């Protein structure tokens, strides 16, 4: 196994998280960071790596196998294309891109580059997500009929200090709902159509404050999802899992999957079943908790990226796969704008 030489484009909040994950693994070394912000010099000094203004300049000088793109959402495209032009592998943060056209162009570029694209839907590296998928795909709830979920937080005022976080690309739909839709696609299968409403009633910025979404899955199941970044509530993935110390753990589950023979509370997995009883509303259901420790998804993600670079694995979240998640997420805006159901 070779040690992968990695660079980071975008040394902000999540860029730093990736740098920490790289320090935890033996398969990768961080070579350099590209970021035009003078404040990132501190991170580069701390990590004892070179700092460049631009990923193109960095790749002209440094020998790099893989680039992690963790720039603001509207700037994912150029660094990704640049890295592929240099035949580097790319781990690009979610959302994969901010438009379908950008996504298609990257997929085309990848097909003529020696580099492969892995998209940073990090939740897919959690064992509990795999377990939920296994329960549902194996018919553990009978036939999946419906699901209902929510992600409702109130982000702190400082979060919006950077102007890019007020743009539509940085709203909760493209920043947060995309995580949820990606997990739901992974667990339940593809989303066929989306109907949605969005609202700007609190902040009145370009980005939306909240959204309500209705989904039809290819397997016939229906789903609803409510999200907002302006609500004080204990119901969001981050609070449920305690994934990062920045967000206090509530342990409150956020998604319910309902099938013909049982139900599943998620992400802290609780399966509701009738046991030997007839599975109808006259018979008692009992909950069974499944305890799965939360692994470090960012570390697993870097290990997987190294395996992709080394040719031992293919990207578990390919550009095509992430483009399907992006299409479903962008359909929320289109449906809200047109008032019509959008085929994904």
Binding residues vs ligand NAD (CB under 6 A): 9-15, 34-37, 40, 55, 70-73, 75, 79, 93-94, 120, 122, 162, 175
Element (H, E) at 118: strand 117-120
Please, are residues 191 and 185 in contact by the beta-carbon 8 Å criterion? yes
Please, are residues 140 and 266 in contact by the beta-carbon 8 Å criterion? no
- Closest CB to ligand NAD among 9 and 117? 9
| Shortest spacing between CB 94 and ligand NAD, in angstroms | 5
| Shortest spacing between CB 336 and ligand NAD, in angstroms | 20
The tokens describing 60, both together, are 């002209």
Q: Give the residue ranges of DSSP H helices in the chain.
A: 13-24, 41-47, 55-61, 77-85, 100-111, 127-137, 172, 178-188, 237-241, 297-309, 319-338
> How many residues in the chain?
344
| Shortest spacing between CB 340 and ligand NAD, in angstroms | 27
- Closest CB to ligand NAD among 11 and 223? 11
Residue 258 CB contacts under 8 Å (≥ 6 apart), including other chains: 141, 144, 145, 146, 147, 148
- Closest CB to ligand NAD among 75 and 193? 75
- Closest CB to ligand NAD among 40 and 59? 40
| Shortest spacing between CB 160 and ligand NAD, in angstroms | 11
- Closest CB to ligand NAD among 123 and 327? 123
Residue 127 CB contacts under 8 Å (≥ 6 apart), including other chains: 292, 293, 295
Q: Indicate the residue whose CB is closest to ligand NAD.
A: 12
| Shortest spacing between CB 120 and ligand NAD, in angstroms | 5
| Shortest spacing between CB 63 and ligand NAD, in angstroms | 19
Exposure b/e, 230-248, CB count within 10 A at least 16 = b: bbeeebbbbbbbebeeeee
Distance CA 232, CA 247 (A): 12
- Closest CB to ligand NAD among 103 and 144? 103
């Amino acid at each position: 196994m070779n040690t992968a030489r990695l660079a980071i484009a975008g040394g902000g909040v999540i860029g730093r998280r990736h740098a920490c994950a790289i320090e935890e693994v033996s398969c990768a070394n961080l070579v350099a960071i590209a970021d035009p912000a003078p404040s990132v010099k501190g991170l580069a000094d701390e990590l004892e790596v070179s700092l460049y203004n631009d990923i193109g300049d960095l790749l002209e000088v440094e020998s790099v196998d893989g680039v992690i793109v963790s720039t603001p959402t509207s700037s994912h495209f150029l660094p990704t294309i640049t890295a592929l032009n240099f035949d580097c592998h790319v781990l690009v943060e979610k959302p994969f891109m901010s438009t379908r056209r950008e996504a298609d162009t990257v997929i085309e570029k990848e097909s003529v580059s020696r580099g492969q694209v892995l998209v940073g839907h990090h939740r897919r590296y959690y064992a509990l997500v795999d377990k939920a998928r296994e329960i549902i795909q194996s018919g553990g709830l009978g036939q999946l009929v419906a699901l209902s979920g929510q992600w409702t937080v109130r982000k702190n005022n400082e979060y919006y200090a950077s102007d890019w976080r007020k743009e539509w690309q940085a709203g909760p739909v493209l920043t947060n709902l995309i995580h949820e839709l990606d997990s739901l696609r992974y667990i339940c299968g593809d989303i066929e159509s989306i109907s949605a409403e969005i609202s700007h009633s609190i902040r009145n910025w370009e980005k939306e404050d909240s959204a309500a979404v209705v989904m039809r899955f290819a397997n016939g199941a229906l789903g609803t999802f409510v999200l907002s970044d302006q609500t004080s509530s204990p119901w969001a993935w981050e609070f449920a899992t305690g994934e990062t110390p920045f967000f206090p753990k509530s342990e409150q589950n956020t998604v319910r999957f309902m099938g013909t023979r049982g139900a599943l509370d998620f992400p802290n997995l609780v399966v509701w079943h009738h046991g030997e009883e007839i599975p109808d509303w006259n018979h008692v259901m009992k909950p069974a908790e499944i305890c799965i420790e939360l692994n470090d998804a960012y570390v697993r993600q870097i290990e997987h990226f190294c395996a992709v670079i080394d040719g031992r694995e293919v990207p578990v979240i390919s550009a095509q796969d992430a483009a399907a998640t992006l299409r479903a997420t962008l359909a929320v805006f289109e449906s809200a704008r047109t008032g019509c159901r959008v085929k994904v």
